[in-house]
Structure 1
Amino acid sequence: MSSLVRISMTIEPDLLARFDTYVESSDHFSRSEALRELIRTHLKVNGHTPGERRPEAK
């Protein structure tokens, strides 16, 4: 695995509770692992590739 970078985020308490329930019921070892997998999946499903830039919003 490549090196990792620590990030911080702000999230609503109810959304975090739902995410924690997801993490506990999944095969993920931690919140970080689950979040990385969700990001990878979202980017793949939505057709984003490394280095690709999204078009400017109008």
Structure 2
Amino acid sequence: MQHLHIATEKFSPFHGSGWREYIEWSGLTQLTEVVTLDGMLCPVALPQIKDNYWPHIVNED
């Protein structure tokens, strides 16, 4: 089995109105942060993607 890893930023109250709107929409008032593979909420944490990274990056098709 091949293991794949991804580093994402967390989505939390530090995101201001976006966080408040998400909690209001979802009704998940117990959350303190969200960590997900959903790129709309948690963007990839790599600030820069270097050419030599690409052989190791799995992209969604």
TM-score of the aligned structures, taking structure 2 as reference length: 0.30
Q: Which has the higher helix share?
A: 1
TM-score of the aligned structures, taking structure 1 as reference length: 0.31
Greater RCO (CA < 8 Å, at least 6 residues apart):
2
